[in-house]
Structure 1
Amino acid sequence: MTPLIEAAAVGEDAYSHAEATVAGEPASLVLIRVEGQVRAWHNVCPHAGRRLDWAPGRFLVDKAGHLVCAAHGASFRRADGLCVAGPCKGQSLVAVAVEERDGQVWLAD
């Protein structure tokens, strides 16, 4: 198995991006560290199924630290991926289980 990203590249202050194969399908992932733990979601807005980033691996963040969908402005909490504002309020990003070991972030088994 191949690591997704170096653990040091996933910070508390900025979203990171990785490409992976999840359930046999290619996937774009968005990652952030929250209280020391790496969280990951599919890089897909539940509103319209579009990528969240405005350019590959480039994410918009509001003053509260919410991830903002570049297409329609939906805002997602960093702790759990819940949409707190915008057209898909109350829906969540699809989480991807990851683990940190040997200085890398990996898809969890």
Structure 2
Amino acid sequence: MKFLCAGAELAESSSRGFEIDGEKLFAVRRNGQVYVYINRCPHRGVGLEWTPDRFLDPSNSLIQCATHGALFLIEDGECVAGPCAGQSLTTIECREDAQGIWVSL
């Protein structure tokens, strides 16, 4: 497991981008749970963020691709609207402990 960040660095209902060993990732915290995905839209392979660390729609309830507006469920990365409906983001296994958030790469 590789260290991603301290838990306090990922606030509730927020997202952050990261790069570890050349792999671009992003993390979202929702209802106290952390979800981590590879930062790549399944439609065109582009990064998802609007601006640095901004991966969520205006309501902070869905992940949104800045390029095509595709919407993804935070909990499992499934695309529920847009050109890649039915596809999913690539999930990265993660865990959180007293030291922070860790990912399996």
TM-score bucket (shorter structure)? 0.7 to 0.9
- For residues 16 and 64 of structure 1, do their structure 2 counterparts lie closer, same or farther at Cα, with a shift above 3 Å needed? closer
- Cα shift at 1:4: 1.0
Aligned residues: 105
Q: Secondary structure at the match of 1:15?
A: strand
Tell me which of the two structures has the higher relative contact order, counting C-alpha pairs closer than 8 angstroms and 6 or more residues apart: 2
RMSD across aligned C-alpha pairs, in angstroms? 1.9
Confirm or deny: 8 A CA contact 2:2 2:104 kept in the other structure.
no
CA distance in 2, matches of 1:108, 1:48: 25
Partner of 2:16: 16
**2:71 aligned with 1:78, yes or no?**
no
- Cα shift at 1:11: 2.7
CA distance in 1, matches of 2:59, 2:19: 27
Unaligned runs of 5+ in 2: none
Partner of 1:51: 47
For normalisation by structure 2, the TM-score amounts to: 0.86
- Cα shift at 1:49: 0.1
> Which portions of structure 1, spanning 4 or more consecutive aligned residues, are displaced by more than 4 angstroms?
none
Confirm or deny: 8 A CA contact 1:10 1:32 kept in the other structure.
yes
**2:63 aligned with 1:63, yes or no?**
no
- For residues 41 and 49 of structure 1, do their structure 2 counterparts lie closer, same or farther at Cα, with a shift above 3 Å needed? same
Unaligned runs of 5+ in 1: none
Partner of 1:4: 4
Q: Secondary structure at the match of 2:29?
A: strand
* Counterpart amino acid of residue 101 in structure 1: D
Partner of 1:87: 83
- For residues 13 and 64 of structure 1, do their structure 2 counterparts lie closer, same or farther at Cα, with a shift above 3 Å needed? closer
CA distance in 2, matches of 1:11, 1:64: 12
CA distance in 2, matches of 1:89, 1:107: 26
